[in-house]
Homo-oligomer: A and B are copies of this chain.
Amino acid sequence: MAHVLGQNQYGKAENRIVRVRRDSGRHEIKDLNVSVSLRGAFDDVHLTGSNANCLPTDSTKNTVYAFAKQYGIESAEGFAALLARHFVEHTERGVVHSARIRVEEYGWERIRTADRAAEAGDSGHSFVRSGQEVRTTEVLYDGDRFRVVSGLKDLVVMNTTDSEFWGYLKDRYTTLRESYDRILATQVTARWAFDFHGRDGRPQPEWNHSYQEVRRHLLEAFADTYSYSLQQTLHAMGTRVLDHRAEVDEVRLELPNKHHFLVDLAPFGLKNENEVYFAADRMYGLIEGTVHREGVTPVIPVS
């Protein structure tokens, strides 16, 4: 039976780039990890050994660094869109039909020093990596429209109360005891899709502001929700974002339930009044879900 070459893509992954703006004594930095994937007329590359249509992954890497110089990096999304458009519109012979750019961004804060506090409040060129979450984006451009899905990962949060879990379905394998006051902790992976496609002269969202606001709403919804399940918290987080950020059409969350088990101290004559927990690694509950606006077709894939 004949074979067919199906979906394929290639590019240089994980280009680590730090871009410094030195316009003033107060430097600004962007710290990104950029991955390029090109899709297009690459059948011959696979089938015949001809590389005539193959732009080397090395060239895509060079483009990332050159663009960082030429255009600066205002936001991960804006930079990714520039790159995606370039590969589709400027690669010779039209061999690139669509380009997907993924970016991880690592946050940095200024180091505040006592000496300089008297002057400027902090150092103009000294930074400490924040480490809290990694900001992400994925921009796909097909020559006609942009699809932008931004997000974050590795944001670890915990409520030490206001979480219950009971009244659940019980089958013959159910031994879990109901809980009326438990720790709820999770490591948030969130992705959200924008109502922006780059047509009709509609301006790009203010990506950085949007990111900070979405992040804030996710955190606040986690903190404010009195929870009867992690699913309920997930839904509250997603809807909170949609309620407050008109530029977002769809939110997908992956929330591992980082179990904190109450330790049984009775054998030692002690009563554990929700004070001492064992933080487990594996196995873990994994709750995933999408909330989107009515009438919108979800685009964020299931992991």
Q: A157 and B131: CB pair below 8 A?
A: no
With known contacts A10-B231, A129-B156, A16–B168 Cβ distance under 8 A: no
Nearest CB of chain B from residue A134's CB, rounded to whole Å:
10
- A208 within 8 Å of B (CB atoms): no
> Which of A45-53, A74-82, A199-207 makes up part of the contact surface?
A45-53
Q: A27 and B175: CB pair below 8 A?
A: no
A12 neighbours in B (Cβ, 8 Å)? 283-286
227-269 of chain A: CB within 8 A of chain B: 228-229, 231-232, 234-235, 238-239, 242, 250, 252, 256-257, 260, 263, 265, 267-268
Nearest CB of chain B from residue A51's CB, rounded to whole Å:
4
Assembly CA distance A51 to B154 (angstroms): 27
- A11 within 8 Å of B (CB atoms): yes
- A174 within 8 Å of B (CB atoms): yes
Q: B49 and A234: CB pair below 8 A?
A: no
Q: B268 and A62: CB pair below 8 A?
A: yes
With known contacts A9-B289, A298-B6, A22–B273 Cβ distance under 8 A: yes
Q: A62 and B5: CB pair below 8 A?
A: no
Assembly CA distance A183 to B19 (angstroms): 11
User: Binding site of A, secondary structure by majority: helix, strand, loop or mixed?
Assistant: mixed
A231 neighbours in B (Cβ, 8 Å)? 8, 10, 42, 45-46, 54
Kindly identify which residue among B56, B108, B286, B290 contacts A168, using a CB–CB cutoff of 8 Å: B56
Kindly identify which residue among B58, B156, B274, B283 contacts A175, using a CB–CB cutoff of 8 Å: B58
A283 neighbours in B (Cβ, 8 Å)? 12-16, 61
Q: B174 and A62: CB pair below 8 A?
A: yes
Q: B169 and A95: CB pair below 8 A?
A: yes
Kindly identify which residue among B53, B62, B160, B219 contacts A22, using a CB–CB cutoff of 8 Å: B160
Q: B46 and A128: CB pair below 8 A?
A: no
Question: Please, which residue of chain B has its CB at the minimum distance from the CB of A21?
Answer: B275
Q: B278 and A17: CB pair below 8 A?
A: yes
Assembly CA distance A14 to B128 (angstroms): 24
Q: B27 and A232: CB pair below 8 A?
A: no
Assembly CA distance A9 to B286 (angstroms): 8
133-178 of chain A: CB within 8 A of chain B: 133, 154-162, 165-176
Q: Which of A52, A162, A169 has the most CB of B within 10 A?
A: A169
Top 4 closest pairs, chain A to chain B, by CB: A8-B289, A6-B290, A126-B223, A49-B228
Known: A46-B231, A128-B156. 8 other contacts (CB 8 A): A3-B294, A5-B235, A6-B290, A18-B278, A18-B279, A58-B175, A129-B156, A131-B132
